[in-house]
Amino acid sequence: MAKPKKPHLANCGRTLVEALFRAQDQEVMRQFKDRLETQNRRQQLAQLCGVHDEALLDHLIALDVQPEAVAAIAAIPLVVVAWADWTVQDAERKAIIQAAEASGVTSQDGRYPILEYWLSKRPKPELLEAWKHYIAALCRQLSREEVETLKHDLLDRARQVAEAAGGILGYGNKVSAQEQAVLQTLEQAFG
């Protein structure tokens, strides 16, 4: 039986080393892509809900909270507050659109179809109930600090909508009793 030639062993060694580095390169590339994807998802979530706390955003990503869900948890409070007194005033409509734009929600040819639908047709109570259940479930997965950050950011925007059209000639209490009741309902959902 003849002994294998040394060049064959050297070629095999090169192949082994190349395979090792290829595997390492693939792992490094995967980690790089994962970081980019996390950064992109973090930016998407931040734009949609207005939360900029990176730890909270990373936790939402780890929980696999989808951008559509974040958009819903950010928009629904605005809409239900606007409808609290059974009519949406122009100032409230503008405040909601501004909040959407500030969150990075882009228009479709100058329109916001879902928001416009909700602003023209009062949402059924089931929408708020679904929101409350989702928030309660989400809060059970978050730390107390994360819950407070999320609550603060979402309720501040809802309060801005409530204050947009209130008072008489811009004076007095800007938040109606109905709007205040909705704001309290929203706050209670956070536990």
Three-state secondary structure readout of 152-188: HHHHHHHHHHHHHCCCECCECCCCCHHHHHHHHHHHH
Average of per-residue pLDDT across 112-124:
84
pLDDT at 55: 86
Q: What is the mean pLDDT of the chain?
A: 81
pLDDT at 169: 46
Alpha-carbon distances of 36 from 30, 33, 43, 53, 187, rounded to whole Å: 10, 5, 11, 18, 34
Tokens 């501040």 correspond to: 156
Q: What pLDDT, in 10s, does the model give residues 18-33? A: 766 666 566 655 665 6
- pLDDT tens, 77-105? 999 999 998 989 899 999 888 887 776 66
Count of other CB atoms within 10 angstroms of residue 56: 23
Nearest to 96 by CA among 124, 123, 115: 115
Extents of the domains making up the chain: 54-188
Helical ranges in the chain per DSSP H: 6-49, 54-62, 67-82, 90-102, 113-120, 125-139, 144-164, 177-188
Q: Per-residue pLDDT averaged across 49-77, rounded?
A: 82
Per-residue pLDDT, 35: 62
The reply to whether the predicted model has a pTM over 0.75 is no
